[in-house]
């Protein structure tokens, strides 16, 4: 975790909400110079900061409304720091809590060098990244509908479907399997929603391919060289990473992608707990999806999976393949090298730790 430790004349902590924000300004000696609740808009923020000149830093916790303040500061040449929400909760949690107290604590953490930093994603790529994340949401719901159909079929002890239901052609007439009118209606509702999601996903993917231009085309080409990784999944990984150079070591990248679990020890013993939600859930999903697609029709990958299953079990084996892919992607992007199957399968030094 990185902490902001630059010196300024004034430190601005903002407890931000959708329509209101509580703003606290501390000077370099720690004295409160401004502390007030106000509407969350650029005009009020500009008037509040104007008396303090240019040697200021603005800190905001990473909530869903931070975009406009980051853009406000960038347009005016003001230093902006985004706070990591989970780390901030651990650091400044207290018995008493209010917007006024929180804004002062944010400013105090900035001044004291204890402000945990999150990555400020560049504005020109945010909308496309958010659209890719929205696509993930639709894909998850599509999978839930398919799972419900499979479960209902099993619930009524009906014969297994002869083909995968992912294809619309394989779903024709499956509601006729169910004699009960209510069960048939439930399946019919699932089928109608699946058709809607299919159309929406096609439109979203077409939009992404048109708009996803603010990236390194060579990096996209490198990711496409991984077996099973198509254009949308490659763009998802690329837009979630943005710049591989912001990760100084492969371990930092794997931790950010939630591909490794950090040990928690006390008195030489491992203890339960840990912040498993720290990291990028969207990147975790992308590498998990890449691992599944990597195995399809890939005999070398399937042999690797069988070796790992014999050693660690099925679920752990898939996680290790996703971790191995994450490690491979890191070095591919760092070295600008395409996927090397011989290195991936043959070099034991690249095999992930259990």
User: 103-120: per-residue pLDDT in tens?
Assistant: 999 999 999 999 999 999
Dump pLDDT digits (tens) for 308-342: 999 999 989 999 999 999 999 999 999 999 999 99
> Which one, of 94, 72, 87, lies nearest residue 119 by Cα?
87
Tell me what pLDDT residue 267 has: 66
Nearest to 116 by CA among 78, 90, 79: 90
Supply the DSSP symbol for 201. Answer: H
Q: Do the Cβ atoms of 301 and 227 come closer than 8 Å?
A: yes
pLDDT at 349: 39
**pLDDT at position 351, please?**
45
User: What does the alpha-carbon distance between residue 177 and residue 180 come to, in Å, rounded to a whole number?
Assistant: 9
pLDDT of residue 354: 40
User: Which of the residues in the chain have pLDDT under 70?
Assistant: 90-95, 263-268, 270-276, 347-354
Judging by beta carbons within 10 Å of its beta carbon (0-12, 13-18, 19+), is residue 155 exposed, middle or buried? exposed
277 vs 144: CA distance, rounded Å? 22
Residue 15 contacts residue 103 (beta carbons within 8 Å): yes
Read off the DSSP letter of residue 174: G
């Amino acid at each position: 975790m990185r902490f902001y430790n630059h010196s300024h004349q004034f430190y601005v902590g903002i407890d931000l909400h959708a329509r209101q924000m509580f703003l606290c300004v501390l000077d370099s000696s720690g004295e409160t110079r401004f502390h007030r609740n106000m509407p969350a808009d650029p005009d009020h923020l500009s008037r509040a900061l104007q008396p303090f000149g240019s040697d200021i830093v603005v800190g905001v916790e990473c909530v869903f409304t931070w975009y406009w303040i980051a853009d406000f500061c960038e347009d005016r040449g003001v230093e902006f720091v985004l706070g990591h929400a989970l780390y901030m909760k651990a650091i400044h949690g207290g018995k008493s809590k209010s917007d006024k107290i929180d804004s002062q604590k944010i400013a105090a953490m900035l001044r004291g060098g204890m402000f945990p930093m999150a990555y400020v994603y560049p504005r020109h790529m945010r909308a496309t990244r958010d659209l890719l994340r929205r696509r993930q949401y639709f894909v998850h719901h599509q999978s839930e509908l398919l799972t419900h159909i499979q479960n209902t079929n099993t619930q009524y002890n009906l014969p297994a479907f002869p083909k995968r239901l992912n294809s619309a052609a394989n779903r024709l007439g499956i509601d006729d399997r169910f004699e009960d009118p209510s069960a048939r209606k439930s399946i019919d509702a699932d089928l109608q929603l699946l058709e809607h999601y299919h159309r929406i996903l096609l439109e979203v993917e077409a939009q992404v391919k048109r708009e996803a231009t603010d990236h390194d085309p060579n990096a996209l080409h490198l990711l496409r060289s991984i077996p099973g990784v198509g254009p949308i999944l490659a763009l998802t990984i690329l837009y979630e990473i943005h710049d591989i150079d912001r990760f100084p070591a492969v371990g930092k990248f794997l931790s950010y992608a939630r591909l490794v679990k950090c040990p928690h020890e006390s008195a030489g013993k491992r203890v339960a707990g840990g912040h498993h939600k720290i990291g990028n859930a969207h990147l975790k999903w992308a590498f998990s999806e890449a691992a599944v697609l990597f195995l399809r029709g890939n005999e070398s990958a399937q042999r690797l999976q069988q070796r790992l299953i014999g050693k660690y079990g099925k679920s752990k084996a898939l996680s290790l393949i996703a971790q191995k892919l994450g490690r491979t992607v890191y070095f591919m992007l760092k070295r600008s090298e395409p996927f090397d199957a011989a290195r991936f399968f043959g070099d034991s030094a690249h095999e992930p730790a259990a």
